[in-house]
Amino acid sequence: MKKYAWIGALFFFILLVSGALYYLGKRSKVEQIPSGYKHILSFSEEGMRIDLYSKVGKLDVGKNSIYVLIKPAKRLKELYFYMPPMPGMGEMREDASIKEVSPGAYSVDVSISMAGSWQIVLGLDGKVIKRDISVPFTAEGKVQAKKDKIAIDPNKLQLIGIQTDMVKKGDIVESFSTVGYVSYDLSRVHQITLRSDGWVLDTFGRFEGELIKRGTPLMRVLSPDVNIAKEELRLSKELGRKDLERAVLEKLSFLKSGDVVRSPYDGVILERGTYDGGFLKAGDIAYKIADISRVWVIAEVPQEYAGVLRKGMEVIVSPVGEEDSLIGRVDYVFPEADRMSRTVKARVSLANRDVRLKVNQMVNVYFEKDLGEVLTVPEDAVVDTGKRKVVFVEIQPGLYEPRNVRLGRKAQGYYQVLDGLKEGERVVVKGNFLLDSEAQIKGLYGEEAKAHEHH
């Protein structure tokens, strides 16, 4: 009897051990992590725990193999990475392919197109769990490897819209336009005076602003000194005194004898200093006449371009409202700036055939300066933060380095490069604001990013 009791107890013990081993084996099978996978991330929410393991111990740009364990076991319906829209690009979503290994255990493959701030989203039975991470991501949540660079999946560059161009040398011409106005050529303003006192008998209806020709009568004058000299000439001839006659002729030549004074120039009467019946003393200004066969154009140049101005620069002058243009050269740069308008004056002398240009008329003035062969970078490649100018240099497709640059003049869609780039390097010309946002997030600008210099 005891023998049968002992056999029953042994059989019960074997069943108990077998059950325990079966349970432990099953549990081990469920929780067994594939060889080489390392724990990188955990979620804990409402009594549920989710653990993520990575084949390489991190999440990075490109293809990622992930192992997911959910306790207690839940069905994983979807897993994806989401990046909200940023300036210059729309939202991004990278969906994972999911394979169930056993209840609560899943093998997941997902490709991440670029480095940056992502949301990892898990859809379970009736529940959505989210967590913000920065890719590359390790168990410590730190950026891996090249901390001063931004990585993007090369296969996704076209989708994201990133384009590059080459830094190269080239001949560029700096140009800018400004406004100006037409002025008299002050070197061609003439004064009409008398060399002896006299009465003005007639001004022939002359008026200020009148356009006159050379030889146009200006006034008829009665001068006592001239009349006396003429009488002396008559007497010297009667007496046969050649010496006196020569002296009187010289006197009349000096006095510019003649009843009618005519204009010696073509031009415009600026001022009329006499009237019919008036009296003029010797040296008084009777008329001011401006020769307008040539005029000055005074260009108001913004101070930022003052360093470009040079005597002899060729310019194009376009009268406002007209299609045709005139070509001239800067013949003088005024030494003073206008502190109110913050401009510097530059003078251009132009021939004025057929009085095409009217004094005080507004004109557009177009300046050009050949900068010669210089190292250039496309204007679209430059991100101006206000405190610095940055370009993103392509180290290799998908890997970009933000670099501070020192730039010179801007012309024809290019900047002159003074420092920071080398000929042959490639820079991002489209999509750089996306990289700029990522550089701020990663702190690649140092302390300035914390001050939100871009905002």
pLDDT digits (tens, 9 = 90+) for 100-113: 998 889 999 999 88
d(CA 20, CA 367): 92
What are the pLDDT digits (tens) for 37-55?
Answer: 888 888 887 778 889 999 8
Q: Is the pLDDT of residue 30 over 70?
A: no
End-to-end CA distance of the chain: 92
pLDDT at 253: 61
pLDDT at 28: 43
What are the pLDDT digits (tens) for 163-192?
Answer: 889 898 888 777 788 999 999 999 999 998
| Residue carrying structure tokens 């010309």 | 429
d(CA 90, CA 126): 28
- Contacts of residue 253, defined as CB under 8 A and 6 or more positions apart, other chains included, come to none
Range with lowest mean pLDDT among 69-83, 135-149, 417-431: 135-149
What are the pLDDT digits (tens) for 123-143?
Answer: 888 788 888 887 888 765 443
pLDDT at 144: 41
Range with lowest mean pLDDT among 169-178, 283-292, 309-318: 169-178
Q: Is the pLDDT of residue 26 over 50?
A: no
Q: For all residues of the chain together, what is the average pLDDT? A: 81
d(CA 279, CA 436): 80
d(CA 229, CA 257): 9
d(CA 150, CA 390): 14
Sort 15 into a burial class: Cβ within 10 Å, 0-12 / 13-18 / 19+. exposed
d(CA 184, CA 361): 11
pLDDT band at 295 (very low <50, low <70, confident <90, very high): very high
Contact 412, 377 (CB under 8 A): no
Closest CA to 41 of 113, 90, 108: 108
Write out the DSSP string of 62-120.
EEEEEEEEEES-----EEEEEE--BTTB--EEEEPEEEEEETTEEEEEEEE-BSEEEEE
Strands (E), 75-228: 78-83, 92-95, 97-102, 105-112, 116-124, 127-135, 137-138, 150-151, 163-166, 168-184, 189-193, 198-202, 211-212, 217-222
pLDDT at 3: 53
Please indicate whether residue 342 or residue 32 has the higher confidence score (pLDDT).
342
pLDDT at 298: 95
Please indicate whether residue 199 or residue 99 has the higher confidence score (pLDDT).
99
For the residues 68-84, what does the mean pLDDT come to? Answer: 89
pLDDT at 453: 44
pLDDT at 235: 66
pLDDT band at 241 (very low <50, low <70, confident <90, very high): confident
For the residues 80-97, what does the mean pLDDT come to? Answer: 81
pLDDT at 450: 44
pLDDT at 249: 61
- The pTM of the full predicted model, rounded to 2 decimals, is 0.51
